[in-house]
Structure 1
Amino acid sequence: MFKLHDALARDCAVVGDLPLCRLLLMNDCQYPWLILVPRRENVREVCDLSAEDQQLYLVESNATCAVLQNTFAAEKLNVAALGNMVPQLHIHHIARFAADPAWPKPVWGLLPAKAYESATLAARLTKIRAAYSAYGMELVA
C-alpha cells in the first residue's frame, strides 16, 4: 500500500492524485515547485517502475511541465529526481526565473524555505488544480 514519505508529507501540500502520481506543492513560496510521487510501494528510481508506469509518468511529467510553463510563465524548468535524503521516488518540477532568489544556481540547500501563508497557499492550490483541469487532467482530492 502506498504511503507518502514523512519528509514529503511534512514539507509539501497535497494538490491531488493523478492516475499514477500524487502531486505535491513544495511549501516554499519562492518558487512554483511541484513534485510527482508515483503511488507505488518500494520504488526508488524511475527504472523501478513498470514499463506501463514509466509511460504514464512521462505523460504526467510533461503535463506538469506544461502547467508550470503556461500558468507561471517559467523561463526555465528544472526537473530532477535526487532522492539522496528521501529514498521514495519523487520527481521535482520547478519553474525558474532569472529574478528568483537562487538563480542561476540550483534551489536545493541554497536558501531556507519560505512557507506560504494559508490564504496564498489555498489560492496557489486552486490555481494549479484549475490548470491541470484546463490541460485535460483531473486531479482526485
Structure 2
Amino acid sequence: MADETKKAPRARVEQEEGPRQKQAEQRSENAEPRPVEGGAAGSAPAVNDGSKQASGTVLERFSGWLTKSFPGHENAFLGGVCGLVVAILIAAIGFWWTLLVALLVLIGVAIGQQADGDPKIIRAVSKFFHDRKSQ
C-alpha cells in the first residue's frame, strides 16, 4: 500500500504544432459545415465536416505504403488479405454462408457496375450463357 503513494506524477508532454496540424486547422477554418440528409428525427442535423477528404488521404497513404512495402506485388498482397478474410468468414459462419455472402457481394458489384455504365460482370455472365446455347 505504501508503494502507491510514492508514485511520481505523470509528466505532460506538449508538442509543437507540425505541418499536418497546421494544414488541418486551415482546412477546418476554411470549410463551412454543411448539413447532411438523413439525420434522426428530432435531433440536431448532422454536419459534414469534410471527413471524406481525410479518408481520401488515408487511401492515398495506404496505397503509397503498399507500393513502397511490396513493389510489384501489390495485387498479391491484396489477394492474400482477401483470402484471409474468406478464411475467417468460413471459420466463423461456415462454408455455405460464406458462399452466400460472396454471391451477394458479387451481385452488389454487378448492380454498381450497371449503374456506372460499365457492366463487365453482367456481360461476362451473359456471354457465358450465350456461348453455351450456341454449342
Give the TM-score of the pair, scaled to structure 2.
Answer: 0.24
Considering fraction of residues, name the structure with more strand: 1
Considering fraction of residues, name the structure with more helix: 2
More RCO (CA 8 Å, sep 6+): 1
Give the TM-score of the pair, scaled to structure 1.
Answer: 0.24
Structure number with greater Rg is 2
